[in-house]
Amino acid sequence: MIETRLIVDANNHLGEGPLWDVKEQRLYWIDSTAAEISSCRADGSDIRRYFVPRHIGSMALREGGGAVVSLANGLHFYDFDTQTVKFIADPESDDPETRFNDGKVDRRGRFIAGTMAYDFDRYDADRGQRPNRSGALYRLDTNGSVTRLDGGISCSNGPCWSPDNRTFYFTDSYDRQMYAYDYDIETGAVANRRVFASARDLAGTFDGATVDAEGYLWSALVFGGRILRFAPDGKLDRVVEFPVRNLTSVMFGGPDLDILFVTTMGRPMWGIPQKERDKGGLFAITGLGVQGLPEPRFAG
């Protein structure tokens, strides 16, 4: 039996990036526009909060301790004890209209993160307006070098990989399209971008995503109040209704990797009202009958 529970009444402005760490047996997540990182146990207990100096798009834990974080002003290493950052690089330092957003680590320990247009609050799909497309997708290698993988992006979201490492999935939320790339796990290169799934006939758009042990992709349908599971061929396999309309991202975790953790936003966006009492909370879904895969740490 599927059960959805609020486990942390976080009241996040823009909760994002749930990350289950197998080593610590803890869940991390961020409040992007409040510039905060939080963590808890699988049941929502032992909550810890940390602060970063700028808007945060994503984070990943490091093998050697601490984290790598994508902030509005670039990529940084983060020390949880001192709550301080060490600058790595900002490939878009000359463009004040973009900031880093979603990111994850591949199974060779590289951090892949994309940027987004900062004018998202002015976006109005019904009037045909759209933000600029100056965002891009980047790879941070373990030696600190940064490589641009793709461009022409409005809002980077949902990076994740197939279990065999051959396919990289990525979403431009403003386009309401999810893409698949051929992925070279040895080099971190991407090629052959194609549409994997579309949300253009659905309420809402794709946001954060993860891939389960069977190779099926789970996506949070932000503004749509549902979680969608897609087969490796892109066919819609399953729909899970969700009690909060503005869910943002998903990640499997827990001792058996069979709990789907879900983040949500608590502030309005694009004029879409949010009336649910639990908006901005952290949720856990059990009984799905599916397990996830361990998330790797950044190896640099």
Rounded to whole angstroms, the Cα distance separating 192 from 208 reads 22
**Residue 17 is part of which domain span?**
3-286
Rounded to whole angstroms, the Cα distance separating 299 from 62 reads 6
Q: What is the CATH number of the domain that holds 100?
A: 2.120.10.30
CA 262, 134, 110, 89 torsion: positive or negative?
negative
Query: Whose CA is closest to 85, among 98, 74, 101, 97?
Result: 74
- Would 294 be classed as within a structural domain? no
- pLDDT at position 4: 98
Residue 164 catalytic?
no
- Would 176 be classed as within a structural domain? yes
- Would 295 be classed as within a structural domain? no
Q: What is the mean pLDDT of residues 31-38?
A: 96
pLDDT-derived band at 125, boundaries 50, 70, 90? very low
Number of domains in the chain: 1
- Would 201 be classed as within a structural domain? yes
Rounded to whole angstroms, the Cα distance separating 202 from 221 reads 9
- Would 298 be classed as within a structural domain? no
pLDDT of residue 208 exceeding 70, the answer is: yes
Rounded to whole angstroms, the Cα distance separating 170 from 92 reads 20
- Would 296 be classed as within a structural domain? no
- Cα 205 to Cα 95, 103, 111, 160, 261: the distances in Å are 26, 18, 24, 17, 19
Of 102, 175, 207, 212, the catalytic one is: 207
- Would 299 be classed as within a structural domain? no
- pLDDT at position 274: 65
3-state secondary structure of 240: strand
Q: What is the mean pLDDT of residues 193-212?
A: 96
- Would 69 be classed as within a structural domain? yes
